[in-house]
Amino acid sequence: MEIQAKNIQITTESQVSKVKIRKASANFVSELLREEFIRRKNKNASYSLRSFAQNLKIDQSLLSKILSGKKKVSAQFSTELLLKAGVAPELIQAGIEELGYKSVIDDEFRFLSNWIPFAILELAKVKEFQPERDWMAKRLGVHPEEVTDALVTLERMGYIEKIDNGILVKKPTNTWSNTKQTSLARKNLQKRYAEMSVEAIDKYSFDEREHGSLTVAISKSKLPIIKDMMKKFRQELGQVLQAEGELEEVYQITMAAFPISKIKSKS
């Protein structure tokens, strides 16, 4: 079943099992540079594209074109640029000399560690959606390069495809190939959601959000019941919220259950 709205198509399709690493091209270089830029910006929120260009000793407009994949660069210039950015020499060499394969688990880790890809997939459902990087960045309150990085990951994982008039968005299956290796990513994501929830208390008025809690003594034997009820509620709420009517905003609905009394030792 396929639904089309504006420039967006939402359909169901199985995930790809492997994705190819790009050769030394604009895509290969831009992806590594984007990752480094985002890493630096995560450490320093005020770090700008201008600062990154100055560190790399190139013109900001040229860097912008490289990051967007609009400017192709030679293997020699690629090597010099990536070395200045601090990318490992062996990674640069591997990308330049050969076409390899990358496990989907690596992309799953990046996908599950980051809230932005999830937000983009939901943002594509709102009535005013525009498949433009800067528009998405503005609506999500993030840097445009963070959106670019998320789109690259989504495309490699088979969740989206670029088309002439926008992007083709494929509905996620929410199943993962290796839950053990993605457990750390899930922890990172939940930590970020918790931080965003705290930030929202001061960022938004009460009529735009809901924060509530329940402190209760329980029997630990009922914890599976709590988890099951929370899972069912999330699924039912999602169905109700998107059942009908125009969608306008993307909300994060976070639920948690954890002990606040010290866990007694079994010994």
Per residue in 205-227, pLDDT tens? Answer: 999 999 999 999 999 999 999 99
3-state DSSP: the chain helix, strand, coil percent, rounded to 5?
55, 10, 35
The pLDDT of residue 112: 77
Which phi and psi (to 5°) does residue 212 adopt? -140, 165
Contact 11, 172 (CB under 8 A): no
Residue spans of the domains in the chain: they are 3-171
DSSP, residue by residue, 20-63:
EPP-TTHHHHHHHHHHHHHHHHHH-TT--HHHHHHHHTS-HHHH
CA angle at residue 44 from 42 to 45, to 5 degrees? 75
Measured distance CA(129)–CA(126) in Å, rounded: 6
Enter the pTM of the model: 0.63
30 with 141: CB under 8 angstroms? no
Q: Residue 257 has what pLDDT?
A: 93
> Which strands sit side by side in the sheet containing 3-5, from one edge to the other?
3-5, 8-12, 166-171, 160-163
pLDDT given at position 155: 86
Residue 128 has φ and ψ, to the nearest 5°, of -100, 15
Q: What is the predicted pLDDT for the residue at 210?
A: 95
pLDDT at 267: 56
Q: Could you list the pLDDT tens digit for every one of the 267 residues in the chain?
A: 233 333 333 332 322 222 233 333 446 778 888 888 888 888 888 889 999 999 999 999 999 888 887 887 777 788 788 888 887 766 666 665 543 334 444 566 667 778 999 999 999 989 899 989 999 999 999 999 889 888 988 888 888 888 877 788 875 544 444 444 456 677 878 888 999 999 999 999 999 999 999 999 999 999 999 999 999 999 899 889 987 788 999 999 999 999 999 877 665
> Pick from 213, 58, 86: which is nearest to 66 by CA?
58
Is 10 within 8 Å of 169 (Cβ atoms)? yes
Q: Which two tokens stand for residue 261?
A: 């009394």
Bridge partner list, 18: 103
